[in-house]
Amino acid sequence: MPQPELEDLRLFLIVVDHGSIAAAARADGTPKPSISRRMANLEVAVGEKLFDRGANRLSLTPRGEELNARLRPAMQSVVQALSELDDWHSNYVGHLTMHVPASLLQMGVRQTISAFLEAHPSTRFDLALNNQPIQRLDIDTHLALVIGGLPDSDLIAARVGQTCRVLVASPEYLETHPEIVHPNQLRDHILISPGPHVPLNLRHRDGRNWTQSFKPQFAIDDVRDVTNEAIAGRGVAVSTTIAAARSLEKGCLIQLLQDWQEQPMPISILYRDNRLQSRLERDFIKVLRAELNKSLIRRH
């Protein structure tokens, strides 16, 4: 019979504390399918069911109650021992490599790294600006920030916020070009976008859907540069609520087709299983996650 893994036992206690796998996933930042799989593995290792699965909440079986009672004091001792070990080595030593979309650099990433370096001068950070979708982390990369869809892998994704694509143009451009009251009229305008292909999937507030794929006249990799081209009056830009927020507030840009919206895109920190992390990596992710949550909430 296989032995239970320490991570399975840790997650078991979190599920017990929160009453459901979904709530435990939100609290811990571990994907719900991963926790479900680990609880199934733990039941195989124990040899008995640990949960009775109700409609809205899990309850412990007698075997689950026994495991919870025996495990909790032992796990608290482990946590205390690790905390004491951290106190012996209070200064972090090492380096982290991150991939970050350029548009998110000002959303708390720079500030978090700067504060961490000031508090722990023996650490180093290598920051790679990468606007392309991340499918995996190479061996030398510790974590990445991703916007939108997530790769199908064993990597962990901790959601920290969201953004949404928006169509924007400058007041000067709109004064000298045809009015846009329907998505079909975008064909009459210069379209600027971050990438050579722009599939737009818009939904009207009355429930109508509109989908179209464009080949923009001007494609730039960085959504910040796309937004700046719109500010300069060179066309209609496919920007994001994050990249365009300040310019919209100042009136440098106007959001078009506000009755037609795309679904929001999640923003997540992507990293490996907790068991494969160094203490530096694990603790920096906690700090970065908290800072991004605050920063991105302010933007919405």
Write out pLDDT tens, residues 112-132: 889 888 888 888 999 988 777
Contact partners, residue 97, CB within 8 Å, separation at least 6: 125, 126, 127, 128, 140, 141, 142
CB of 160 closer than 8 Å to CB of 268: yes
For residue 198, the Cα-to-chain-centroid distance in whole angstroms is 22
Quick one: tokens of 290? 């908290």
Q: What share of the chain is helix, strand, coil (3-state, %, to 5)?
A: 45, 25, 30
Q: Which of 166, 147, 140, 135 is nearest to 100 (CA)?
A: 147
| pTM as predicted | 0.63
Cα(10)–Cα(35) distance, integer angstroms: 10
- pLDDT tens figures, 226-281: 999 999 999 999 999 989 999 999 999 999 999 999 999 899 998 887 666 777 88
